[in-house]
Amino acid sequence: MLASRLLSILMLLQTRGRLSAATLAREFEVSVRTIHRDIDQLSAAGIPVYAERGRDGGFALMDGYRTRLTGLTQPEAEAIFLAGLPGPAAELGLADLLAGARLKLLAALPANIQPDAERIASRFHLDPVGWFRGADPLPSLPTIARAVWSGHFLKLRYRRAGKTEVRPCRLGPLALVLKGGIWYLVAQSGKSVRTYRAANIHDAEIAEEIFARPKEFDLAAYWQKASRDYEAGLYREQAVVRLSPKAMRRLELLGPFVSKAAQTSAGKPDRQGWLRCTLPIESGEYGLCELMRLGDEAEILGPPAVRAQMASMLAAMARRYRTRRL
């Protein structure tokens, strides 16, 4: 544990520069006194780390000092090779760079770790795209990625979901997120931060003006909240339904959010084994079409308006199929 923390402190000082003892203590969840002892051990081992006093002081490495990539454990090396997703890297235009980096990393590893780290790529393959769906066409993604990395404004045209109109936009790019095989751009528009589907971005260009990235922006926290808000906004209505045992097994077709709601709201089965549940549904006809995927193994009990809508849709379908067409 100590050796691992010492190596991690060294890597942090090498990548982030000067860090205070308090910052390092929070990072490793130890006391400031423990950090001072760790620094003393690094110095005793010949690492050129020095301390600067004062308000902006802290610990730092001598200018020009770089450690070679040593001390990497076998599980760590395997995890790094497993994390190299060739598909997303190619979409970002980084396939060649990733291949070069993997070769350099492999060359830097101890000889006893190299075979296992290299073999993992031949035994595990990560495919983030869902079944029965091809990857989105992403001609603008490499440009978007360069803008995110360089911190320049993006000029583009964007088509909102379900719309045909394409509107010009000027965005401050904050991050790229790969969710379920779909790329999203998190960007600042005016004073608000929004999420844009990369496949709906057209004619992206990097502007000359530098974007002032908000210092307080936390990508992980933003994405967690945005995901919750999206799901809550998507399912704006509820339907009380009766579900057969077969329909309960089919609920995975409607997604984990709906399936979990059914499990938590289900009452006791009736004599036929059917369960009464409350399901979140999308507003409009799309939500009814989703429920129709359960077939005749489901019955909508309420609200009355939703039940009437379903009855109207089924009646229209029945009329259409009663008419013989050649």
Q: How many domains are there within the chain?
A: 4
Do residues 159 and 212 both lie within one domain?
yes
Closest CA relative to residue 49, chosen from 64, 33, 62, 36:
62
Number of Cβ atoms within 10 Å of the Cβ of 36: 14
pLDDT tens digits, the chain, 326 residues: what are they? Answer: 566 778 788 878 877 788 899 999 988 889 999 999 998 888 888 888 888 887 778 898 887 676 655 555 656 665 656 555 566 666 666 556 556 566 666 666 666 666 766 666 666 666 666 676 666 678 888 899 889 988 999 999 998 876 778 889 999 999 998 887 788 999 999 889 999 999 999 999 999 999 999 988 999 999 999 988 887 778 888 899 999 999 999 888 888 888 889 999 998 999 999 999 999 988 767 888 889 999 999 999 989 999 999 999 999 988 888 876 66
Residue 218: other Cβ atoms inside 10 A: 10
Find the domain containing 155 and state its range: 141-230
Q: Do residues 251 and 300 both lie within one domain? A: yes
248 and 290 part of one domain: yes
166-179 vs 152-159, strand pairing mode: antiparallel
Same-domain check for residues 261 and 318: yes
In this prediction the pTM is 0.60
pLDDT of amino acid 286:
80
169 and 107 co-located in one domain: no
